[in-house]
């Protein structure tokens, strides 16, 4: 996601999901040009520009590597909490913290299907 209106829609109308290190705003979509769109908001409270860019690089890599596991029609904005230490933040920590939240998001966004009747 690149446009301010898309971020604002997620903040205003999306559902919040919390993890130890992040807050995720998730807004389901109907159209499917892209299955999931990710937006990253890393504020100055996380650290200087080098630290903020490191957090964004690690998050982008996490979502790139796990895009086949987490496919849903949604916009997701990821916001780190103050407790995140950018110098120690790595891919393993991102995976351990975000994977359970992404599973919960997938479960909540999955269409409810009626069980098949057996004849």
Residue 114 lies in a domain: no
Which H or E run includes 43? none
User: Is 112's pLDDT higher than 60?
Assistant: no
| Model confidence, pTM | 0.87
> Residues 56-89: pLDDT tens digits?
999 999 999 998 888 788 999 999 999 999 999 9
Residue 117 lies in a domain: no
pLDDT at 73: 86
Domain harbouring 89, CATH code: 3.30.230.10
pLDDT at 16: 97
Cβ atoms < 10 Å from Cβ of 53: 13
Residue 45 lies in a domain: yes
User: What is the residue range of 59's domain?
Assistant: 4-109
Residue 25 lies in a domain: yes
Structure tokens given for 107: 């479960």
How many structural domains comprise the chain? 1
Residue 14 lies in a domain: yes
Residue 116 lies in a domain: no
> Residues 2-59: pLDDT tens digits?
899 999 999 999 999 999 999 999 999 887 677 789 999 999 999 999 999 999 999 9
SS3 100: helix
């Amino acid at each position: 996601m690149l446009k301010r209106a898309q971020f604002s829609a997620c903040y205003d109308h999306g559902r919040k999901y919390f993890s130890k290190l992040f807050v995720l705003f998730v807004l389901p979509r109907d159209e499917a040009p892209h299955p999931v769109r990710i937006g990253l908001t890393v504020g100055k409270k996380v650290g200087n520009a080098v630290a903020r860019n490191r957090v964004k690089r690690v998050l982008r890599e996490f979502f790139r590597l796990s895009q086949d596991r987490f496919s849903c029609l949604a916009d997701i904005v990821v916001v780190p909490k103050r407790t995140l230490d950018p110098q120690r933040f790595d891919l393993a920590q991102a995976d351990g913290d975000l994977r359970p939240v992404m599973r919960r998001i997938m479960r909540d966004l999955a269409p409810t299907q009626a069980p098949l009747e057996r004849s």
